[in-house]
Amino acid sequence: MTLAKRIIPCLDVAGGRVVKGVNFQDLKDAGDPIELAAKYYREGADELTFLDISASVEERNTTLDIVRQTAEEVFIPLTVGGGIRTAEDVNTLLRAGADKVSINTAAILRPELINEISDRFGDQVLVLSVDARRAGTKSGYEVTTHGGRTGTGIDALAWVEEAITRGVGEILLNSMDADGTKAGYDLPMIEDVRAISSVPIIASGGAGSLGDFAPALESGADALLAASVFHFGTLTIGQVKAELSRSGYSVRR
């Protein structure tokens, strides 16, 4: 049986509002997170990802009230990321209504956090967010933190392999080179991560037109994350799913 490919709108939240920019710069207001979440749920989103993009930079926790209110409005898996530093933070978010959590910076600073979360809650709740860009590492990709603003020198493919052995359930692969450009997903990066990943890959960064989605699946993605094209009305989830269905992919209607 072929698993349906998932379409996941991403709500990048800063200061209680959904924002979107190019390479995480020049952020524009895109609306109220709870209203947008409810809209995407009605339109047929398979999941929602909610990233508090200023939480790590400002060294504070994700806005729990928004998580709670969103969970009351939508009945599809909700992934929450931003500012998660401990297994207890995960417990708090799951109790507030999140189904999965996404970690990035804290796991790089202390990789044992992956084991702690996976051992306590199971790998199905844990998504590793990998903000990768081209650099002079062994694989040619480097992991970045703080919304792509800070290089780590860590090889992205080696990090993905280590994280999988420690117990992550999915990889959210965000190409910092493609983010917000609307020039299409980063197909070479998806292919390279697919070659070493035994867990599902959610591709993120670069969706700009209907023709961008199927190639990312062909390159090895299991799910597709997008933000700008949905927030600013370029495309609807229904249009994307219809196009993928025409391309021979199984999608949930």
Cα 63 to the chain's mean position, in Å? 17
Nearest to 237 by CA among 5, 7, 25, 6: 7
Per-residue pLDDT reduced to its tens digit, 65-110: 899 999 999 999 999 998 899 999 999 999 999 999 999 999 999 9
Per-residue pLDDT reduced to its tens digit, 25-39: 567 788 899 999 999
- Strand segments, DSSP code E, in 32-110 are 48-52, 78-81, 100-103
Which residues belong to the active site? 12, 131
The confidence score (pLDDT) of residue 65 equals 87
Cβ-Cβ contacts under 8 Å for 11 (sequence gap 6 or more) = 18, 33, 36, 37, 48, 49, 50, 51, 227
Q: Which own/partner contact pairs does 217-222 have at CB distance under 8 Å and 24+ positions apart?
A: 217/5, 217/244, 217/247, 217/249, 219/185, 219/187, 219/188, 219/190, 219/191, 219/194, 220/190, 220/191, 220/193, 220/194, 220/195, 221/5, 221/173, 221/185, 221/190, 221/194, 222/3, 222/5, 222/6, 222/170
The confidence score (pLDDT) of residue 56 equals 54
Cα 30 to the chain's mean position, in Å? 17
The answer to whether 174 and 205 have CB atoms below 8 angstroms apart is: yes
Q: Could you give the CA distance from residue 151 to residue 160 in angstroms, rounded to a whole number?
A: 16
For the entire predicted model, the pTM comes to 0.93
Domains and CATH numbers, the chain: 6-246 (3.20.20.70)
Distances (CA, A) of 152 to 11, 133, 139, 143, 210: 25, 11, 14, 6, 34
Average pLDDT over residues 50-79: 81
**Pair type for strands 223-226 and 201-204:** parallel
Q: Which residue has the higher pLDDT, 118 or 150?
A: 118
Q: Could you give the CA distance from residue 157 to residue 166 in angstroms, rounded to a whole number?
A: 14
